[in-house]
A and B are shown apart, each in its own frame.
Chain A
């Protein structure tokens, strides 16, 4: 592709094929084929639809295609039907059988199978309502979102570059190369207020500016993309790569033009095979179209991108470690300074942004810095994608404007806490972040607010916890993860986190003393200030923040030797309420430790003697409780 005109031509040709406009007679059916969709069984659904359409001879009128993540994980597999001039129809929890019926009744017969649509299958909703929405667009979970980074996810077929182009794809690159100077590009990104979406929230434009200006020796510079999304429970970047890979490629080329680089690397987790596959397809298509490679749009600008795969090291999400890993070494962090903008990959000036950050760039160029800056708060502009999980009704991907109160995310978009339980805390930032307790639920979510209350934006995992979660146990969970993932280079992180974990284990085992809490806090503060890289500097956050808001729980473990949430096994006691026990013996029969036996007591009204648990033998596996149909087993 040598000119803008060709790009416009493709866009025109494809226009009606993505969302059929009124007056066209095309019907477009998309099946969510991201990792979670596939895992839930989307492939047979897709093939049934394809076969069904062919058999029914609807090929001329109906196109069936795959798309990326639509963001409603628990409803997968998801099928959406776009008809000209109508709201799309969202079918959820599809199977091959259901798909066959959709072909028959809806695609052929023109009648929506309301039984399968989202409104009639809402999670946490006991009964079907009248006038239940058939379209995801009308479901509050979706209605409240603002899609910028995810704008193409679940809409286009990520494996067809023309579909991306139809949605203004590569128009931003064309604009940048033909109408803007590198400084203008940087100024635009600066003015938009975009901050890095991967963790600390460094202003993206600033980063680019430093890389452009600090070293001007005419030598190589690099543009890197961090797709090594390693936080447990976070999958925003995976969704973008699986659903809209070209958005990342285009943004990297724009960044290359801005800082003066002709080479880029995407460092992606090897655990993301589908993302890798689609990236490879996208790279080849972009090269074929001349959107990557030499002399892009005939402007003399060269840029190409290589893929590198992680091999299972969380620390490689840290920028200097990631670069060290691309260099083919142990992915250990390097001290800064020198900063990557001066001396990064292969000792040359380098910028590194994460997937979601890049996914915003083309939109900022096309729609302008003001448009982007109109969303969000004073210091946090635009939107943020969160992976909503844990004890919440609607799990999935949500993209919301910065500054949205946590309450809205949890109670409105997330649909609240299931089973009538009480909201206890939300965890953001994964192993680097902290907890937001219930009393701060009205905090507007942005970088600075989260930092101020001891958490952080992180890459966007948002785990909701209810009264059944033990905060000491949660802190231990995250610390266990960092100890496992510490690279071992610097002393505070290598030895310090291990000692913290050992203290937490001691507390959880009921052997803690009050001094242990002090020592834990002392260590946490030390590791935070003294560690070499971001991993170590943030590793104590889950402990620091739970100590800040849930110190009483720690004290309960240490002083009362009790786990208030009833999670920590060593502190639990299972017992049988002798009045409720009918003596059926199911508990004893299933006890793996032979810890339950009959007593001499028979409760009034029961025929058999009740049973009792020998605490000395009990291993606290909870099997007795699961097997008691009479609610006689108690956990304290």
Chain B
């Protein structure tokens, strides 16, 4: 399991930081508090960027690497937030032979997210998924819950424009 490094600009607020610092203070005397701290931090910020880890490191005296090591061990800790508009392109076999690889690349180019990830403003995220069982509509992508099928690269801009 390899986590993709954060691609999103940090826009944490003072309130969020205060909340996190309060959480750390509350857990000061708890043994092995790093997991609950990271869980709460993710609740507060939605993900765990370096800025949040710095706050945790500063208030716990743990090294940044130790925190990063923990965050990348457990699959529930996220280094990237899901975009408000979450796009998944199916790279299952049926879609793939119908050119979903090109669709994936096209979406990546359009959004500046080649290879997947989340835009720095946190609006769009792109991922490749395994077969979603819509082979008959191949190639397909989903935007949040909405499925778009029988796509060509020419359709991509139009679809994305609906969400911009």
Contacts and interface: CB of A to CB of B under 8 A. Distances in A.
A174 interface: no
Contact of A328 (B34, B93, B98): B34
A122 interface: no
Nearest to B62: A328
Contact of B97 (A312, A330, A619): A619
A328 B74 contact: no
Question: Chain A at the B interface: mostly helix, strand, loop or mixed?
Answer: loop
Contact of A329 (B34, B94, B136, B138): B34
Contact of A313 (B38, B39, B75, B135): B75
Contacts of B77: 311-312
B101 to A, nearest CB: 14
Contact of A309 (B1, B33, B35): B35
Contact of A312 (B70, B74, B94, B137): B74
A293 interface: no
A185 B77 CA distance: 41
Given A621-B94, A621-B135, A327 B75 contact: no
Nearest to A271: B76
Contact of B76 (A270, A308, A569, A623): A270
A56 B31 CA distance: 53
A484 B33 CA distance: 26
A155 interface: no
Contacts of B31: 327-328, 346
Contacts of B97: 592-593, 617, 619
A590 interface: yes
Interface in B1-46: 1, 31-36, 38-39
A620 B93 CA distance: 9
A313 B73 contact: yes
Given A313-B73, A487-B73, A569 B33 contact: no
B74 A592 contact: no
Given A569-B93, A592-B95, A308 B73 contact: no
Given A309-B39, A328-B70, A621-B94, A592 B138 contact: yes
A393 interface: no
Contacts of B73: 313, 330-332, 487
B61 interface: no
Contacts of A310: 74
A325 to B, nearest CB: 7
Interface majority SS (helix, strand, loop, mixed), chain B? helix
A160 B156 CA distance: 54
A327 B32 contact: yes
A295 to B, nearest CB: 22
A228 B137 CA distance: 39
A330 B69 contact: yes
Interface string A191-204: 00000000000000
B35 A328 contact: yes
Interface in A608-631: 617, 619-623
Nearest to A593: B97
Nearest to B34: A328
A326 interface: yes
A328 B94 contact: no
A621 B93 contact: yes
A311 B135 contact: no
B163 to A, nearest CB: 26
Given A590-B136, A623-B135, A330 B70 contact: yes
B136 A346 contact: no
B53 to A, nearest CB: 14
B136 A592 contact: yes
B69 A593 contact: no
Contacts of A569: 93
A54 B89 CA distance: 50
Contacts of A622: 135
Interface in A547-599: 569, 590, 592-593
B136 A311 contact: no
Contacts of A593: 94, 97-98, 138
Contact of A331 (B74, B93, B95, B136): B74
A332 B137 CA distance: 43
Interface string B52-95: 00000000000000000110011111000000000000000111
A330 B1 CA distance: 14
Interface in A326-347: 326-332, 346
A151 to B, nearest CB: 33
Given A311-B39, A592-B136, A619-B93, A326 B32 contact: yes
A332 B36 CA distance: 17
Contacts of B38: 311
A569 B94 CA distance: 12
Interface string A314-331: 000000000001111111
Nearest to A592: B138
A310 B74 CA distance: 8
Nearest to B69: A330
A64 to B, nearest CB: 34
A329 B74 CA distance: 10
B129 to A, nearest CB: 15
Q: Chain A CB within 10 Å — which of B33, B39, B77 has the most?
A: B39
A622 B34 CA distance: 48
Nearest to B38: A311
A116 to B, nearest CB: 32
Interface of A: 270, 308-313, 325-332, 346, 484, 487, 569, 590, 592-593, 617, 619-623
Interface of B: 1, 31-36, 38-39, 69-70, 73-77, 93-95, 97-98, 135-138
Given A311-B76, A329-B32, 8 more contacts: A309-B35, A311-B77, A313-B75, A592-B94, A592-B136, A592-B138, A593-B98, A617-B97
The 8 closest A-B pairs by CB, nearest first: A328-B34, A311-B74, A328-B32, A312-B75, A592-B138, A312-B76, A621-B135, A330-B73
17 contacts: A311-B35, A311-B38, A311-B39, A311-B74, A311-B75, A311-B76, A312-B76, A313-B74, A328-B31, A328-B33, A592-B97, A592-B136, A593-B97, A619-B93, A619-B97, A621-B93, A623-B94
